[in-house]
């Protein structure tokens, strides 16, 4: 999972005298509803870890905080990159005077950010010894990188070896040259993963880099109790910047601009993050004022939606806080996620995987036995819309007219299983076509909401007389099982790292198995079309390829499609600058608290 600015821009003004924040320490209390896995950008891919990474490290580019649709703007560069006429080369010029947070690895010296740090970071993502879930980001794309990676397969990656596609002609200039056009590169470089790391820090901490993140971002890690709490404090070496928003026409944006413009960025001195997996305690903590913000992962818990919001049954896009919360000054900000939920089959699994006629029929039958509409009504409280396409609405490449999901139809599902030889045995459950009994391995989580989903899935398997075993594990173990292709079926979600269809179509690209391709799906036809599409800009030609790819996936059925959720973000009255963002994993650095 994962996994994200001049007009309406959250531009940061460089230099100059800035007003100091109040002497009292400003603390923001936030929460995760699942355990993080670590804070090395090359080693993790979950949204919880990414939320922290975004606050510690700096990408080259970033997203405008206010603009919708989202826009990419410079972050540590002097301007947007210069792109060659053929679309193959990108040149970035870094701002001077940006420093890493203090760390013993620097031996007491201030360490300036340079172009070499990004060159190192890019190579490290492709280092076979790291086994990064993001290894596909630049491998097979940058000129000369493949050869370096091939040599590393026989030993260590030589970070000092020259790579034609990664050049640093001077201390502050980075040049990237690709084999083919890469039109989505600016979006990718604004996400959570290509974050500058200092080589000496990585080498100092060896295998323990997940616990020792050191970046040039606004915060640094003070304390981490895995699965329990995370504490971030202001980076004393962070550059002096101020909020400056060009708010445009939106009343909310104008209010945020009035609240924040001219203030030092960031305003919050310390961020305290708790891990609370159950939804009821999360909401009680917010309701009592112990938490300042729920802005996604989690937002308003879905079991409590009807207690907190006034809903329009005919239109899930319309909702408002109930009077009790409005009168308290609670802030609500809503958006349809740029993401999807789905249930993924492990295509390598001996029970549900494979491309034989019987296995495809089994997956289709499972899909037709699951009532997605029922879970949207009863679990999501109608705060979601069904998925019919790999790419969700509001993301370039989405086709609203495509119908890929198999409709809820248990009689047809049973007839299909009968037809391919999954016969019902004396115990009332189906056996495989060879007569052997089988059980579907369903990896799930331990929370109350997981148990609720499992009840609906148990009904689905009962409808087609198929045995299922719910294997309960923690979220980090589930993520590991997905990446290692060691499960039968599991729930998953993908939020846009950047708002382009390529970020979703890559989820089923064969070489991404072990990373973002949780289905471990390999289709030569799909892969070929993906490779054609990824060099094309958004437009009719690329969309035609995307439709063909969706048809292939509908035929093979590596997924059971889920839904696209509404994020119902809330903040306390004393929080300033609050607006849900579709691509950032967390927005804490853009906020202020005035109690």
- pLDDT digit string (tens) for 429-460? 999 999 999 999 999 999 999 999 999 999 99
Dmax (CA) of the chain: 81
CATH of 10-243 given 3.40.190.10, 1.20.1250.20, 3.90.79.10, 1.10.287.130: 3.40.190.10
Does 339-565 match 10-243 at the fold level? no
Rounded to whole angstroms, the Cα distance separating 36 from 233 reads: 18
Domain ranges of the chain: 10-243, 339-565
Is 556 in contact with 238 (CB distance < 8 Å)? no
Rounded to whole angstroms, the Cα distance separating 245 from 230 reads: 29
The pair phi, psi for residue 461, each rounded to 5°, is -70, -35
According to the model, what pLDDT value does residue 45 have?
84
According to the model, what pLDDT value does residue 23 have?
55
Residues of the chain with pLDDT under 70: 1-23
User: Nearest-CA neighbor of 104 among 198, 204, 23?
Assistant: 204
Residues 6+ apart with CB under 8 A from 448: 278, 279, 280
User: Nearest-CA neighbor of 62 among 177, 192, 245, 250?
Assistant: 192
Rounded to whole angstroms, the Cα distance separating 355 from 6 reads: 49
3-class DSSP string for 381-417: CCCEEECCCCCCCCCECCCCCCCCCCCCCHHHHHHHH
According to the model, what pLDDT value does residue 8 have?
29
Rounded to whole angstroms, the Cα distance separating 490 from 96 reads: 46
Q: Enter the CATH code of domain 339-565.
A: 3.10.105.10
According to the model, what pLDDT value does residue 106 have?
98
């Amino acid at each position: 999972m994962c996994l994200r600015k001049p007009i309406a821009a959250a531009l940061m003004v460089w230099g100059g005298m800035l007003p100091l924040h109040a002497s009292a320490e400003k603390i923001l209390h936030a929460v995760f509803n699942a355990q993080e896995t670590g804070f090395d950008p090359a080693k993790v891919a979950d949204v919880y870890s990414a939320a922290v990474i975004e606050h510690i490290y700096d990408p080259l580019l970033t997203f405008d905080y206010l603009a919708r649709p989202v826009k990419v703007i410079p972050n540590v560069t002097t301007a947007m990159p210069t792109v060659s006429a053929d679309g193959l080369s990108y040149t970035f010029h870094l701002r001077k005077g940006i420093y890493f947070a203090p760390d013993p690895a620097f031996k007491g010296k201030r360490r300036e950010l340079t172009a070499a740090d990004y060159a190192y970071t890019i190579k490290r993502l492709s280092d076979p010894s790291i086994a990064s879930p993001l290894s596909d980001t630049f491998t097979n794309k940058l000129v000369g990188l493949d050869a370096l990676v091939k040599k590393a397969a026989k030993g260590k990656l030589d970070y000092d070896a020259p790579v034609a596609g990664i050049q640093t002609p001077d201390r502050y200039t980075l040049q990237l040259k690709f084999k083919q056009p890469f039109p989505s590169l600016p979006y990718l470089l604004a996400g959570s993963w290509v974050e500058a790391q200092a080589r000496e820090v990585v080498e100092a901490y060896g295998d323990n880099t997940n616990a020792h993140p050191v970046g040039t971002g606004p915060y640094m890690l003070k304390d981490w109790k895995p699965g329990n709490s995370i504490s971030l404090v202001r980076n004393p070496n962070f550059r002096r910047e101020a909020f400056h928003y060009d708010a445009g026409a939106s009343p909310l944006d104008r209010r945020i601009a009035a609240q924040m413009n001219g203030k030092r960025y960031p305003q919050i001195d310390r961020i305290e993050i708790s891990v609370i997996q159950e939804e009821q305690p999360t909401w009680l903590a917010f309701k009592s004022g112990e938490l300042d913000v729920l802005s996604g992962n989690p937002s308003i818990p879905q079991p409590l939606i009807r207690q907190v919001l006034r809903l329009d049954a005919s239109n899930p896009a319309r909702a408002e806080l109930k009077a009790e919360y409005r009168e308290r000054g609670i802030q609500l900000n809503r958006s349809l996620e740029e993401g999807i939920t789905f249930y993924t089959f492990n295509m390598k699994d001996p029970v549900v995987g494979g491309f034989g006629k019987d296995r495809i029929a089994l997956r289709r039958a499972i899909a037709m036995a699951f009532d997605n509409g029922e879970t949207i009504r009863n679990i999501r409280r109608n705060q979601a819309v069904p998925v019919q396409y790999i790419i969700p609405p509001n993301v370039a490449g989405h086709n609203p007219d495509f119908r890929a999901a198999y409709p809820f139809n248990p009689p047809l599902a049973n007839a299909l299983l009968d037809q391919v030889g999954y016969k019902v045995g004396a115990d009332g459950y189906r056996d495989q076509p060879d007569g052997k009994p089988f059980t579907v391995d369903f990896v799930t989580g331990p929370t109350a909401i997981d148990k609720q989903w499992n009840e609906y899935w148990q009904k689905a398997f009962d409808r087609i007389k198929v045995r299922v075993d719910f294997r309960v594990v923690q979220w980090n173990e589930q993520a590991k099982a997905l990446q290692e292709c060691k499960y039968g079926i599991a729930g998953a979600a993908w939020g846009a790292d950047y708002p382009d269809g390529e970020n979703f179509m890559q989820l089923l690209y064969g070489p991404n198995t072990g990373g973002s391709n949780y289905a471990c799906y390999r289709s030569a036809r799909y892969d070929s079309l993906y490779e054609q599409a990824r060099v094309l800009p958004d437009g009719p030609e690329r969309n035609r390829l995307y439709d063909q790819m969706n048809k292939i996936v509908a035929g093979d059925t590596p997924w059971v499609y889920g839904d696209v959720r509404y994020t119902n973000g809330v903040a306390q009255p004393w929080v300033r600058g609050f607006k849900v963002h579709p691509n950032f994993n967390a927005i804490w650095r853009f906020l202020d608290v005035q109690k």
